[in-house]
Amino acid sequence: MPPRIKVLKAIHLLANGRKRWLSSNIFEIDGEKVHINGDGIYSNGRKHRYLDEYCVAALMEKGLLASSERFVKAMKGYEWDDEKHHIVLEKEVKSFLERRKIYEKEVDAFINLVCDEIRRKKFKVLKVPKKQGSIIHFCK
């Protein structure tokens, strides 16, 4: 299960990242490739045993996880700072969204919805395959 902040980061990536489908099952966002297939989830950049924000964003884009166009539009222009502690960052994101008429209860409900879907769908986290060159993420 990814931390709550990864759901918000996924929305941020969809709002502000350079994204495109390279094929029906390969999604690229900010130079990170995510492969969606039936074998499970791989992420070279992943240090933990949960879906990273790139996989969550790709699964949202593919329609396999809940997404909200309203949240994506509201997140445009937010400057993400990975150096900040996730609790501080979550508060800042909520404050940013509140100025765009998306209030804390709605943000929490959306995060819970996505986390519940991840739990229910039981995406597998597998060992990272050795791959030359770019970072590659595989998502079920």
pLDDT of residue 35: 75
pLDDT single digits (tens) 89-99: 999 999 999 99
The number of domains in the chain is 1
| Interatomic CA distance for residues 41 and 15, integer angstroms | 23
Residues with Cβ within 8 Å of residue 63, at least 6 apart in sequence: none
pLDDT of residue 74: 96
Joined together, the tokens standing for residue 44 give 């070279």
Mean pLDDT of the chain: 82
| Interatomic CA distance for residues 115 and 109, integer angstroms | 10
pLDDT single digits (tens) 31-90: 887 777 765 555 555 555 667 888 899 889 988 899 999 999 999 999 998 888 989 999
C-alpha separations of 2 from 8, 31, 117 in Å? 11, 21, 12
Joined together, the tokens standing for residue 19 give 């994204």
> In 3D, which of 132, 131, 12 has the Cα closest to residue 75?
12
pTM of the model: 0.83
Domain that holds residue 56: 4-139
pLDDT of residue 133: 43
